[in-house]
């Protein structure tokens, strides 16, 4: 999971890109980067850290130009400390291209070999985003090395990317002297939305991972980028779009609605906030049907993502809703922190219990999901330490039993608490007196009811069904074995422990 942003304006875009990345900061806290275009010249600044720390006044002054792209990256398995893998990436041929990517390529080993042996291109990092950039660059060469690229030729190059690349990808790129290009994978797994606004000089456009960035920058939502579609805004500010894939299917990632996206975003026509309210409603129905014997006194959310679900659950059951945890705003999201020890340590730093809301009460804690279980276990213990008589736990999502290979850091089954355990065993693991999970059918309905055009979703981390059709047991086993067996080299002599874990498990692409 990463955040991407692209803007074409009639005035300097450096401040717009900075403000947009601040709004998308929840999608990545590990690194940030901005590239602006001034004629044929790119200006770039990127580094590890939060947006507010990466960009200083002197950096912003150097980001000249009326078009640009930005990226925020989140840490995953592997070398998260490498500033060389901060995005956007740059390649100087043809024309000069910069690219930012959210997602993960699942055939990256084959792509790297093809780039090295057939396309004669060198990839210098372990990032699938750099691989994707070089595939795009090669396809642009293939469609013709004329001085000017027509929109038709650019879209033909994107068609070549779709033919070669498998997995999930939402992309923003700039071609020097030409314009801004954005496209989405043929399943629409990772989100991408277009906005526009009218200025005195003419229309201005932006693309972003979430609609909240469009709202914050005072643009108006046009529509989502369709699966397999590409949009191109040329230097003159003309907007072009084309379907660039022969076969497409709509399978947006359902975990965006559960956890990843901000509640004030609209993704693929669905309000994230409203979908979470509906998750709370269906969870309340399950409790009323199957768990009515639980003596629940109060419903308490685990901030922040679960608040809408917890509030609606409490309303539906006629129970008191209380805020029992205070969140330290200066601690990052524990789900995307590298290392189990760091995640465990951060929970107590991140949350503090209000004892009066727990003392002597039977408490139902509501969270958006349970992944590794570290946070859940610590929070249940915090509730008990604060004086709770009984602690029940509800998850607005089903059990996470499978790795996500489309850009979310769920690298191995061994790290997932629900893998190989039933609900009672999971409850014991986190120390809860009872555990209620959302049913997967109810989760899908909660989202689909808000946009019936969405008939299918990528819910692979819940059901193990990988929509791209290329994920095998051998593939998943390879990911897990590489964690324990470092040192395997790829065709370029690079360490594929870093390569495969970073790329296959969400990677530097985000």
Strand, helix or coil for residue 43: strand
* Cβ contact 405:418 at 8 Å: no
pLDDT higher for 93 or 224? Answer: 224
Closest to 398 in 3D by CA, of 270, 264, 254, 277: 254
All structural domains of the chain with their residue ranges: 3-249, 271-328+346-453
Average of per-residue pLDDT across 8-16 = 98
* Tens digits of residue pLDDT in 91-144: 998 989 999 999 999 998 899 999 888 888 888 887 899 999 999 999 999 997
| 305 in a labelled binding site | yes
| CATH class, range 271-328+346-453 | alpha beta
Q: How far apart are CA 258 and CA 426, in angstroms?
A: 20
Query: Which pLDDT belongs to residue 507?
Result: 38
- Answer whether residue 499 shows pLDDT above 80: no
Query: Which pLDDT belongs to residue 79?
Result: 47
Query: Which pLDDT belongs to residue 84?
Result: 80
Q: Where are the beta strands (DSSP E) in 126-216?
A: 167-175, 179-184, 193-199, 202-208
| 367 in a labelled binding site | yes
Q: Give catalytic residue positions.
A: 2
Poorest-confidence range of 85-94, 190-199, 269-278?
A: 85-94
Using alpha carbons, list the distances in angstroms from residue 181 to 33, 100, 238, 266.
Answer: 17, 11, 12, 22
pTM for the model stands at 0.90
- Answer whether residue 381 shows pLDDT above 80: yes
Closest to 397 in 3D by CA, of 421, 364, 369: 369
Q: Which residue has the tokens 């660059």?
A: 137
Q: Identify the CATH homologous superfamily for domain 3-249.
A: Aminohydrolase, N-terminal nucleophile (Ntn) domain (3.60.20.10)
Closest to 251 in 3D by CA, of 400, 448, 443: 448
- Answer whether residue 502 shows pLDDT above 80: no
Q: Virtual CA dihedral for 217, 220, 223, 224, nearest 10 degrees? A: 10
Q: What is the DSSP letter of 356?
A: G
| 419 in a labelled binding site | no
Do strands 167-175 and 97-105 pair parallel, antiparallel, or not at all (unpaired)?
antiparallel
| Token pair belonging to 482 | 């590489």
Q: What is the DSSP letter of 429?
A: H
φ, ψ at 67 (rounded to 5°): -140, 150
């Amino acid at each position: 999971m990463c955040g991407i942003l692209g803007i074409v304006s009639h005035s300097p875009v450096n401040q717009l890109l900075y403000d947009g990345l601040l709004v998308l900061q929840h999608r990545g806290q590990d690194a940030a980067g901005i590239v602006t275009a001034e004629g044929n010249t790119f200006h770039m600044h990127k580094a590890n850290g939060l947006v507010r720390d990466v960009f200083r006044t002197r950096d912003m002054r150097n980001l000249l130009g009326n078009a640009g792209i930005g990226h925020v990256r989140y840490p995953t398995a592997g070398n998260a400390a490498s500033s060389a893998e901060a995005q956007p990436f740059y390649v100087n041929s043809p024309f000069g291209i910069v690219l930012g990517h959210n997602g993960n390529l699942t055939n990256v080993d084959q792509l790297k070999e093809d780039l090295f042996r057939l396309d004669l291109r060198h990839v210098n990092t372990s990032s699938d985003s750099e691989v994707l950039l070089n595939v795009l660059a090669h396809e642009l060469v293939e469609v013709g090395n004329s001085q000017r690229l027509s929109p038709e030729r650019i879209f033909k190059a994107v068609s070549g990317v779709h033919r070669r690349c498998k997995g999930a990808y939402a992309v923003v790129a700039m071609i020097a002297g030409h314009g801004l290009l954005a496209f989405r994978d043929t399943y629409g797994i990772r989100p991408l939305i277009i906005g526009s606004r009218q200025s005195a000089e003419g229309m201005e456009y932006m693309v972003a991972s979430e609609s909240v960035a469009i709202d914050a920058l005072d643009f108006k939502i046009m529509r989502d980028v369709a699966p397999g579609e590409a949009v191109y805004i040329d230097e003159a500010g003309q907007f072009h779009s084309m379907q660039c894939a022969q076969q497409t299917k709509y399978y947006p990632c359902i975990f965006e609605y559960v956890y990843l996206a901000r509640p004030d975003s609209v993704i693929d026509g669905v309000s994230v906030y409203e979908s979470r309210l509906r998750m709370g409603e269906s969870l309340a129905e399950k409790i009323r049907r199957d768990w009515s014997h639980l003596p629940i006194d109060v419903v308490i959310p685990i901030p922040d993502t679960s608040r809408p679900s917890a509030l609606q659950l409490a309303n539906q059951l006629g129970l008191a809703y209380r805020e029992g945890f205070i969140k330290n705003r200066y601690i990052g999201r524990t789900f995307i922190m590298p290392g189990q020890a760091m995640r465990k340590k951060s929970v107590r730093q991140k949350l503090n219990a209000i004892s009066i809301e727990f003392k002597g009460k039977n408490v139902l804690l509501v969270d958006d999901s349970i992944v590794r279980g570290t946070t859940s276990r610590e929070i249940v213990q915090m509730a008990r330490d604060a004086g709770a008589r009984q602690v029940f736990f509800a998850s607005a999502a089903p059990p996470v039993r499978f790795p996500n290979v489309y850009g979310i850091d769920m690298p191995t089954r061994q790290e997932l608490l629900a893998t190989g355990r039933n609900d009672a065993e999971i409850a014991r693991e986190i120390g809860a007196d009872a555990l209620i999970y959302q049913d997967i059918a109810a989760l899908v309905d909660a989202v689909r009811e808000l946009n019936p055009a969405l008939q299918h979703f990528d819910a692979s981390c819940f059901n193990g069904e990988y929509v791209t059709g290329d994920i095998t047991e051998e593939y998943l086993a390879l990911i897990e074995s590489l964690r324990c067996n470092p040192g395997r080299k790829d065709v370029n002599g690079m360490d594929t422990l870093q390569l495969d874990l970073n790329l296959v498990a969400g990677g530097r692409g985000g």
